Structure 1
Amino acid sequence: MPHENVRSPLASNASPRRTRKSALLAMTVGCLLSTVPAGAQSLAPLPPARAWSGKSEALVAAPSHPWRTPAERAGFETTPSYEETRAWLEKLVASSPLLTLRTFGRTPEGRDLLYVRASKGGAGKPVVLAQAGIHSGEIDGKDAGLMLLRDIAHGGKETLLDRVDWVFVPILNVDGHERSSVWSRGQQRGPREKGWRGTAQNINLNRDYAKADAPETRAIIGLLRELDPALYVDFHVSDGPDMQYDVTYTFAGWGTYARSSAITDWLEGRFKSSVDASLSSQGHVPGVYPSLIDGDDPSSGLRFSPEGPRYSTGYGDFTGIPTVLVENHSLKPYKQRVLGAYVLMEAALRVVGTDAADIARAKAADRAARPERLMVKWERLTKPIGSIDFMGIRHERYRSPASGREEVRWTGKPVTTRRPIIGHRESLSVDIPKAWFVPAWETEAIERLALHGIRFETLDSPVTLTLDTVRLFEPRLGPVSEGRVRLQAKFQHERRQQTVPAGTVRVPSDQPLRLLAAALLEPESDDSLLAWGFFPHILTEDNFLDDYALAPMADRMLAENAAVREAFEAKVNADPAFARDGAARLRWFFEQTPYLDSRYRVHPVLRQVD
């Protein structure tokens, strides 16, 4: 689809002859390109891979092992399809009393979502929930999980289950996984064919936790609520710069901006030290996931910022679930990445089994907290908040004939440099009210509250209260994001007495999911239901006055109402374009009258402040 600022030849000042020549040239080039067979096109060249050998290679099953995984049998050149994965798991589960296979949802294309539970039984054990393939081309976690399940069932690692249960989702984005191609994720070194980032509905599941549009997201949220895990691990593969690290990971905010501070203290302390020690001992290089300020300038520094609940890590932060996002490095060989994921997974099971009581206390403390404000917007700081020794790869620049500019070329040579950490500061926060009132007809919004487990009550009879109403000004639609048309606006709050009818849903803020409720229901939040386009009807106006009636009424208002006259004159003096626009002037008067639709551009969620 062309960019909006590209002018059509029909709208240009070019001569018809020149326009026809340009169109003919474009058609000729298009025809020439279309005749190049896909097989004749080469894959994108990648930077040189550094040689690697680690102790974790001993985890690969020998050729004679009866339970070699499909990836092991293929020498880690390929990864199994969904059906091959399911068939292998069904056989493994049938061979071991420690494993059970369950479905927990279905995809838009009708495939089952699967998880394996590894358990020795017994009530009250903490649960580690690990998922792979939320971005299905980033599938390291799946093949690592199959290997670890095999070793629990038949490799002497059943003691991992002495103090913890493990629930493993091998593929979350199953439909995207089956849209597999050598042309997917060309910047990633293996496996040969990789799945697609988006779902069949073209939704990025790791942007969908708050609005929960995709059935896959709804399913994993349901599983999170059912299990309430002691740890939630989300396996990805990175994009971005070359570096020495092969296994990186991150938490929401890295403590500086975390909402669940007690949980983050545990993640940054015991989890990080345990996992890093295990990875290092097995020949891997763990590190902080490096989100660069400028991907074209590796020296620009690492970005540390808050996260909203649209992400898995942000959702865990808002709900009091310890959550880790693993980003194996895309330019490392697939075998190395899979083995790194295995080591991290095993280390996670061990540390949760040891620290279960501490984790439970941290979760309880964060869920008992009742912060008074929610930061909803933030901006990048101009000065670093710290620095880090970054184990990178040396790069150079060259002039690209194709782009006509300088591009980055990675040399494969290691280099360690001091990199700044660029933080963020709050640019807008909101006071969390006593409660929110959601009209009964906003069924989609109410369904989302129930899905997330946010507590609410339905009014049996009308109540009259002084409530905070939020009106939108200068609303702007777009961009289209994750299947939704985003909405931005300016907001004006006004308190007035209102009668709320029976059937209205009241959402108290005094609950463990206080912050998640605020993120969804406060209009200023970037992850609010309003921002995700859940209330398009408030932009529709269904009452008006013809100018022959409105103009004399406005004249009378101007003559008889001093406050209106003063406000109008101030508007005229401050805004010359408004002063010249007769329709805008009359519209201004209309908006001061009871004729204005009381629901037009008004956020449907009312706020109980007192």
Structure 2
Amino acid sequence: MLALILAAGGSAVRRCRPPVPYLNLKELFLAFRTAVFAALMTSAPLHAQQTPPLPPELPWSGASEKLIAPIDDRWITPAEQARFASSPSYAETRAWLERLDAASPLIEVKTFGRTGEGRDLIYVRASKSGASKPVVLIQAGIHAGEIDGKDAGLMLLRDIALRGKDPLLDHVDLVFVPVLNADGHERTNRLYRPHDRIPFAKGYRANARNLDLNRDYAKLDAPETRAIVALLRKLDPALYIDFHVSDGFDHQYDVTFTYAGWGKYARHRATADWLEQRFGPAASEDLRRAGHVPGVYPSAIDAQDPARGIRFSPEGPRYSTGYGDFIGVPTVLVESHHLKPYRRRVLGSYVLMESALRFTGVEGARIAAAKATDRAARPTMLMTQWQPTPQPIGFIDDFKGVAFETYLSPASGRLEQRWLGRPISYRMPIIGQTSIEQVHLPKAWWVPPGYTDVVERLALHGIRHDRLDTPRTLDLDHVRFIAPTLKTPSEGRVPVQAQFVHESRKAVLPAGSVRVPSDQPLGLLAAALLEPESQDSFLAWGFFNGALQLEPGTDDFVLAAWGERALANDPALKVAFERKVASDQAFASDPAARLAWFRDRLLPADPYALRYPILREQ
């Protein structure tokens, strides 16, 4: 109970007034009394308020601790003032940044969209006057409960604007989005992410429509994702960094990061090479010098047995990292480790941000060349399905793990892990992927009139397309569904899974049809969205579920009479029908199946049912 009150007290002290150099004793007592009252008056049972037991905390101290402002600094951030026992609300974050904007010519707060609940999406541009410079775009809070990046960014912006770190802006501009999921950020609860070593209520993962924004980059259903994609198009950053906090097993690393596919599986080779060979080693060295333990984000094959390996695999454009890869922007996913204290994680995030600014300033020309190389490429294949390799593709020889034991849990009735807080190291296998399906890209895709939602999203992505003014006849590839099934609803949609048969025949394209050429810098992204086999296609996300509906046919009494007449007048049809009845007892005893047999032979084929509306120009 005391721990709960003290944690709540930190929050109450922060919310009583704006940041100030100190709190006098009377103010401290009033704030503490308010926190005690709030904790005692809550109607929730005590066990529901308590955080669950977490593994032992690994001891740590590092040079980055010197980044924390003194308690009497008038520009101390809210998180620093609370000694990282709380994090500011959306309104407090914005107010603090606008105060910094007013105090420094280097800082400008702007809006770039609105959330579903009407909150402004804000970013901060930190820039020195002069010629246009490369941009480092950093975002936090796409998952609003994973908010380390927000508080690290506030500290770094303060130090750039007022504490002598403005040389970081000599060769780059910083654009910082403190909270992308602003609606989820305000839906706080102490028991969100209960596995996270954070002493305060955390925001919700999804937005106001319960959409995970980091699954929405391809389909663009959420206003927040549309806004960040528009900002990416506007800025075309030299580097894009998305700050998260991990789940999963215990280990010693506090700041981990990853890229789309770790090069081997990246869709664009040059930017992937720059991330792996240049950015990663430089950022890791800066983190180590500051006392942190950086590493590759360890996505475990089996969290119950981490030593079985971690996976490297391709990523689709639904994710920020996958999307960055498809559009040729070097993109980094940062995953602070959830079992490290918030203070340590925020400091590690600060160091990584500062390192990224400094290194991008040096590497600007090299990054621009890599982006140009990738955007000039015209891939002819798209990998659409893959499976784990039977053998590791490599090893991390000295993976910094944490020891655990297993015990029989009376709660689960099975063996569970108990992490022991004792550092160990072991050889970690890296499990790669084998491509089991690829598709050849056509010259173009044709979107029929009426699919305005699809064309709208192509435009939002910046994918070039042209509209047909007059009808046109072409030999095109038509795709027919085989055994389509609707999957479990996901991210506000009902995904589709099917097999496909491709057939070439003439098609009359009406005026208003939209042609999307593959010969363009975003041709691979267009393929990921329009190829039916793609896991992140509009089809897979359920944009074309209407094509799964069968044409209703006609009334049974009409079809029965029509069938009777056909049997009387068409000897060949009569023979075929009687043979079917004689050989198939289930068919013979099923009136619906019998009428369906006549429907398939007497009615014209439905031109839309079980056919993919997008046509492919070979």
TM-score norm. by structure 1 comes to 0.89
Cα 1:255–1:548 shift into 2, 3 Å: same
* Alignment correspondent of 1:307: 315
* Alignment correspondent of 1:95: 103
Which of 335, 345, 360 is the aligned partner of 2:368? 360
* Alignment correspondent of 1:243: 251
Is the counterpart of residue 409 in structure 1 residue 421 in structure 2?
Answer: no
Q: Distance in 2 between matches of 1:550 and 1:434?
A: 45
* Alignment correspondent of 1:446: 455
Is the counterpart of residue 106 in structure 1 residue 118 in structure 2?
Answer: no
* Alignment correspondent of 2:287: 279
* Alignment correspondent of 1:209: 217
Q: Distance in 1 between matches of 2:600 and 2:304?
A: 49
Mapping of 1:57-96 within 5 angstroms? Answer: 57-96=65-104
Cα 1:52–1:469 shift into 2, 3 Å: same
Cα 1:531–1:581 shift into 2, 3 Å: farther
Q: Is contact 2:553–2:603 with CA below 8 Å preserved after alignment? A: no
Cα 1:123–1:576 shift into 2, 3 Å: farther
CA deviation vs aligned residue, 1:51-108 (integer Å, no higher than 9, x gap): 1000000101112222100000000111000111011001001100001000011111
Structure 1 counterpart of 2:511, which letter? Answer: A
SS at the partner of 1:428?
strand
- Tell me how far 1:496 sits from its aligned partner: 0.8
Q: Distance in 2 between matches of 1:553 and 1:218?
A: 58
Structure 2 counterpart of 1:398, which letter? Answer: Y
* Alignment correspondent of 2:11: none
Cα 1:542–1:122 shift into 2, 3 Å: same
Is the counterpart of residue 523 in structure 1 residue 532 in structure 2?
Answer: yes
- Tell me how far 1:429 sits from its aligned partner: 1.3
Mapping of 1:135-154 within 5 angstroms? Answer: 135-154=143-162
Q: Is contact 1:376–1:525 with CA below 8 Å preserved after alignment? A: yes
Mapping of 1:277-426 within 5 angstroms? Answer: 277-389=285-397, 390-426=399-435
Q: Distance in 1 between matches of 2:351 and 2:458?
A: 37
Q: Distance in 2 between matches of 1:261 and 1:557?
A: 66
SS at the partner of 1:605?
strand
* Alignment correspondent of 1:548: 560
SS at the partner of 1:533?
coil
Mapping of 1:143-292 within 5 angstroms? Answer: 143-292=151-300
Mapping of 1:33-48 within 5 angstroms? Answer: 37-41=44-48, 42-48=50-56
Q: Distance in 2 between matches of 1:386 and 1:554?
A: 68
CA deviation vs aligned residue, 1:217-262 (integer Å, no higher than 9, x gap): 0000000000000000000000000000000000000011000110
SS at the partner of 2:487?
strand
Q: Is contact 1:397–1:406 with CA below 8 Å preserved after alignment? A: yes
Q: Distance in 1 between matches of 2:610 and 2:237?
A: 41
Cα 1:497–1:81 shift into 2, 3 Å: same
Cα 1:478–1:99 shift into 2, 3 Å: same
Cα 1:560–1:358 shift into 2, 3 Å: farther
Gap regions ≥5 residues in structure 1: 1-34
- Tell me how far 1:166 sits from its aligned partner: 0.5
Is the counterpart of residue 607 in structure 1 residue 606 in structure 2?
Answer: no
SS at the partner of 1:175?
helix
Cα 1:36–1:300 shift into 2, 3 Å: farther
* Bigger Cα displacement from structure 2, 469-478 vs 515-524: 469-478
- Tell me how far 1:596 sits from its aligned partner: 1.8
Q: Distance in 2 between matches of 1:405 and 1:542?
A: 51
Q: Is contact 2:263–2:273 with CA below 8 Å preserved after alignment? A: yes
Q: Distance in 1 between matches of 2:371 and 2:568?
A: 62
Gap regions ≥5 residues in structure 2: 1-41
- Tell me how far 1:489 sits from its aligned partner: 1.4
Identity value in percent: 60
Q: Distance in 2 between matches of 1:550 and 1:236?
A: 64
- Tell me how far 1:475 sits from its aligned partner: 1.6
* Alignment correspondent of 2:57: 49
* Alignment correspondent of 2:438: 429
Q: Distance in 1 between matches of 2:123 and 2:553?
A: 56
Cα 1:164–1:542 shift into 2, 3 Å: same
Q: Distance in 1 between matches of 2:610 and 2:504?
A: 16
Q: Is contact 2:560–2:595 with CA below 8 Å preserved after alignment? A: no
Cα 1:227–1:588 shift into 2, 3 Å: farther
- Tell me how far 1:523 sits from its aligned partner: 1.1
* Bigger Cα displacement from structure 2, 592-601 vs 467-476: 592-601
- Tell me how far 1:539 sits from its aligned partner: 2.2
Structure 1 counterpart of 2:257, which letter? Answer: Y
CA deviation vs aligned residue, 1:454-475 (integer Å, no higher than 9, x gap): 0000001111000111111222
Q: Is contact 1:133–1:173 with CA below 8 Å preserved after alignment? A: yes
* Bigger Cα displacement from structure 2, 591-600 vs 375-384: 591-600
* RMSD, aligned CA: 2.4
Q: Is contact 2:64–2:290 with CA below 8 Å preserved after alignment? A: yes
Is the counterpart of residue 466 in structure 1 residue 478 in structure 2?
Answer: no
CA deviation vs aligned residue, 1:435-479 (integer Å, no higher than 9, x gap): 111112001111110110000000011110001111112221121
TM-score norm. by structure 2 comes to 0.88
Q: Distance in 2 between matches of 1:558 and 1:299?
A: 70
Structure 1 counterpart of 2:522, which letter? Answer: L
Structure 2 counterpart of 1:423, which letter? Answer: G
Cα 1:473–1:97 shift into 2, 3 Å: same
* Bigger Cα displacement from structure 2, 490-499 vs 47-56: 490-499
Q: Distance in 2 between matches of 1:75 and 1:160?
A: 26
CA deviation vs aligned residue, 1:390-437 (integer Å, no higher than 9, x gap): 111001101100100000111000110011111111121111111111
Q: Distance in 1 between matches of 2:444 and 2:257?
A: 36
SS at the partner of 2:232?
helix
- Tell me how far 1:579 sits from its aligned partner: 8.9
Structure 1 counterpart of 2:483, which letter? Answer: E
Cα 1:549–1:304 shift into 2, 3 Å: farther
Q: Is contact 1:47–1:410 with CA below 8 Å preserved after alignment? A: yes
Q: Distance in 2 between matches of 1:378 and 1:556?
A: 54
Structure 2 counterpart of 1:525, which letter? Answer: S
Structure 2 counterpart of 1:136, which letter? Answer: A
Q: Distance in 1 between matches of 2:303 and 2:438?
A: 29
Q: Distance in 1 between matches of 2:163 and 2:354?
A: 13
Q: Is contact 1:98–1:119 with CA below 8 Å preserved after alignment? A: yes
- Tell me how far 1:39 sits from its aligned partner: 3.1
- Tell me how far 1:314 sits from its aligned partner: 0.4
Structure 2 counterpart of 1:202, which letter? Answer: N
SS at the partner of 2:357?
helix
Cα 1:554–1:203 shift into 2, 3 Å: farther
Q: Distance in 2 between matches of 1:258 and 1:559?
A: 61
CA deviation vs aligned residue, 1:474-523 (integer Å, no higher than 9, x gap): 22112110111111112111111111001111111110111110111111
Q: Is contact 2:550–2:609 with CA below 8 Å preserved after alignment? A: yes
Cα 1:590–1:434 shift into 2, 3 Å: farther
SS at the partner of 1:166?
strand
Q: Distance in 1 between matches of 2:378 and 2:589?
A: 51
Q: Is contact 1:544–1:595 with CA below 8 Å preserved after alignment? A: no
Cα 1:170–1:602 shift into 2, 3 Å: same
